[in-house]
Amino acid sequence: MSEKVLTSAESLKDQARVALGQRNLVLVGLMGVGKSSIGWPLAQQLGIPFVDTDVEIERVSRMTITELFAAYGELEFRALETRVLRRLLEGGPRVISTGGGAFINESTRQHVKRDSLSVWLKADLDVLWDRVNKHDERPLLKTENPKQTLENLMNARYPIYEEADVTVLSRNVGKDIMVKEILAAIVEGKAAEGKMS
């Protein structure tokens, strides 16, 4: 019956919404890739709520991400991030924008894989550097050579991000184009899932 609904859907956003079902849509990828800026209009198209884990972490801790890193270090921040994301995954469906390191945690990644559809927003180094270089609030980039640090993060994390269900290339195009490409990827991913089962 769900195939009938999918083929009779009138638009890409309707097809994507049907393909998503009751799962959360979790956006993963490095800082600056556009998870937060794309997440909100994507959620609007899907007709479901949007939540940014960094905003939620700051709300529950009453501290900024930078303050959390400075006061407690990355390890404690990651533990808090994991708790917040697990709680968010219990509700749904919704679009969830994650911090760059969230999907790297194996336990968190398994929760995402079990309860959600994950989308890796992938970008090349120049695109990311152009975006993050304009802001000074990235704790992981407070190093002597931040561009090299960013490249090192790419090299370490991209093989793990590849485990996401769907990959969409993030580049310097309008948000509406990115949203449309993610919706199409959700529909194509569901179609591919159906062929495998």
Q: Is residue 194 part of a domain?
A: no
Structure confidence at residue 165 as a pLDDT band (50, 70, 90): very high
Return the number of other C-beta atoms located less than 10 Å from residue 109's C-beta: 19
Distance CA 138, CA 31 (A): 8
Q: Is residue 196 part of a domain?
A: no
Q: Tell me, what CATH number does 99's domain have?
A: 3.40.50.300
Q: Is residue 165 part of a domain?
A: yes
Residue 30 carries which DSSP code?
A: -
SS3 for 112?
helix
Q: Is residue 195 part of a domain?
A: no
Greater pLDDT, 108 or 194: 108
Q: Is residue 66 part of a domain?
A: yes
Structure-token match 């190093």, residue found: 143
Is the model's pLDDT at 169 over the cut of 60?
yes
Q: Tell me, what's the pLDDT at 138?
A: 67
What is the enclosing helix (H) or strand (E) of 128? helix 125-132
Distance CA 168, CA 157 (A): 16
Q: What is the pLDDT of residues 94-135, one digit of tens each?
A: 999 998 889 998 888 998 998 799 999 999 999 988 888 876
Most confident residue range from 13-27, 71-85, 179-193: 13-27
Q: Parallel, antiparallel, or unpaired: how do β-strands 166-169 and 50-52 relate?
A: unpaired
Q: Is residue 70 part of a domain?
A: yes
Greater pLDDT, 56 or 136: 56
Is the model's pLDDT at 194 over the cut of 70?
no
Structure confidence at residue 2 as a pLDDT band (50, 70, 90): very low
Number of domains in the chain: 1
* Residue 21: domain span: 2-185
Structure confidence at residue 88 as a pLDDT band (50, 70, 90): very high
The closest of 96, 101, 102 to 117, measured between CA atoms, is 96
Is the model's pLDDT at 8 over the cut of 50?
no
The closest of 98, 126, 102, 125 to 36, measured between CA atoms, is 98
Q: Is residue 84 part of a domain?
A: yes
Return the number of other C-beta atoms located less than 10 Å from residue 148's C-beta: 10
Structure-block tokens of residue 31:
């800082």
Q: Tell me, what's the pLDDT at 115?
A: 77
Q: Is residue 60 part of a domain?
A: yes
Greater pLDDT, 157 or 146: 157
- Residue 168 identity: V
Q: What is the pLDDT of residues 148-164, one digit of tens each?
A: 888 999 999 999 999 99
